[in-house]
Amino acid sequence: MRRLATYGFIALVSFLVTYAFLSSNTGAALLAHVQGDERKVALLLRSNPCPSDQESSYKCWEGYYERVIAESGSHVALFDLKGRHDAGGYPRLYCHTLLHVIGEAAGREYPSVAVAYEKGDTFCRSGYHHGVLEGVFGHEGQDAVLNHLDSFCAEVSGKDRYSYDYFSCVHGVGHGLMAHFAHDLFQSLEGCDQLSGEWEQSSCHGGVFMENVISDTEEEPSKFLKDDDPLYPCNAVEDRYRYQCYLMQTSHMLAVYDGDFGAVFDACSSVEKKYRIPCYQSLGRDASGWSYGSIEGVLAYCAEGGTEEQKEECLAGAGVDFIQSHGGEKARELCRGAEWGAKTCSEAVEQSLSTL
């Protein structure tokens, strides 16, 4: 009874302190600000910024979020995108790339990478985190960028244990370097090499290769992707860059092969033996994205592999991607639902979850 009375007293004090704060000028202003943002998001979500004839246009959605950012800030745009993502449709399809736009604005709005990261999360494959670095790099001089690369992620939480937030930051440096060097892939890779640690360099390389793929559009095609050589640039960069390249390249390969997963599995099997597994895992990430959270869809795509290794590693790649797209429990459910590769998938998922 005494313990219950103590808890009751603590609850009463907490209520009174909260009430007093919200009744003060500072608290009232904060509450009004939060409620104002909630109203803005609610009103935005009722709107239809891209009608049926423009619904599939990435440019339309990009323009919409640029307007929201200009009028209400990156945080409102982030909440709006999360709401539209839950409803499905093209905002979900373009989610990661649109988050780059929102994160880039946040990188300009907030005083440091660490502060900007606190305003977002790893939603939709950490697109927001990647964009933050693009925003920071976009207004830094070349000497400032290359001479202080290590400092950009120094204050991000979990650096000492290589947390996912820290990985997202260092990976985001690769995206930022691509923005800084006008999407020159080779110059950006060399920029990553200015980071102190090998793990940091490799993570940064991955950001460069991801940016090379996701920034490739009909209006502005990448200079470092080839339809007549789907493995390029992975087969042209130095050996130390190739692992990270093959972890991303299948997104481009699927575009070249019109979504034929079997053809991409075959192409992956033609690369150097030590890079086949990352290529199959990359295809698993794509299977996850193409399936929109459907376990049956992932299993069907990965089943197009011609060997057990191809199917197992594809499933492992999908499982890791599920963590960021649909949560850890859904990732575990995916692994359990497979007749093949459950052990490989579970090990990859648990290892990734241990860094979060």
* pLDDT, tens digit, 9 for 90 and up, residues 12-43: 334 333 334 334 444 444 334 446 788 999 99
Phi, psi at residue 354, to the nearest 5°? -65, -15
C-alpha closest to that of 237 among 214, 205, 203: 205
**Pair (252, 107) in one structural domain:** no
C-alpha closest to that of 276 among 230, 325, 242: 242
**Pair (258, 181) in one structural domain:** no
Cα–Cα distance, 341 to 315 (Å, whole number): 7
Residue 7 belongs to some domain of the structure: no
Residue 347 belongs to some domain of the structure: yes
**Pair (233, 323) in one structural domain:** yes
Long-range contacts of 54-60 (CB under 8 A, 24+ apart): 55/89, 55/90, 56/90, 58/90, 58/94, 58/97, 58/217, 59/219
**Pair (201, 236) in one structural domain:** no
Residue 25 belongs to some domain of the structure: no
> Which of the listed residues 159, 194, 219 is the one where a domain comes to its end?
219
Residue 41 belongs to some domain of the structure: no
Could you tell me where the DSSP H helices lie in 24-94? 25-46, 58-72, 74-87, 90-93
Q: What is the pLDDT of residue 12?
A: 38
Residue type, 316: A
Residue 10 belongs to some domain of the structure: no
**Pair (195, 305) in one structural domain:** no
Q: What is the pLDDT of residue 130?
A: 84
Residue 274 belongs to some domain of the structure: yes
Residue 4 belongs to some domain of the structure: no
Cα–Cα distance, 311 to 284 (Å, whole number): 9
Could you read off the pLDDT of 97-140 as tens digits, one per residue? 999 999 999 999 998 888 898 898 878 878 898 888 888 887 66
Please give the model's pTM, rounded to 2 decimal places: 0.77
Q: Which two tokens stand for residue 322?
A: 């599920």
**Pair (184, 261) in one structural domain:** no
Q: What is the pLDDT of residue 147?
A: 82
**Pair (190, 171) in one structural domain:** yes
* Structure letter (DSSP) for residue 48: -
Low-confidence ranges of the chain (pLDDT < 70): 1-35, 139-143, 356
Q: What is the pLDDT of residue 141?
A: 58
Q: What is the pLDDT of residue 140?
A: 61
**Pair (258, 193) in one structural domain:** no
Q: How many domains does the chain have?
A: 2
The residue segments making up the domain with residue 277 are 225-356
**Pair (160, 246) in one structural domain:** no
Q: What is the pLDDT of residue 206?
A: 97
The percent of the chain in helix, strand and coil, each rounded to the nearest 5, is 70, 0, 30
Residue 42 belongs to some domain of the structure: no
**Pair (239, 341) in one structural domain:** yes
**Pair (120, 250) in one structural domain:** no
Q: What is the pLDDT of residue 143?
A: 65
> Which of the listed residues 172, 187, 219 is the one where a domain comes to its end?
219
Q: What is the pLDDT of residue 253?
A: 98
Q: Percentage of the chain surpassing pLDDT 70?
A: 88
**Pair (199, 239) in one structural domain:** no
Residue type, 44: L
> Which of the listed residues 181, 202, 219 is the one where a domain comes to its end?
219
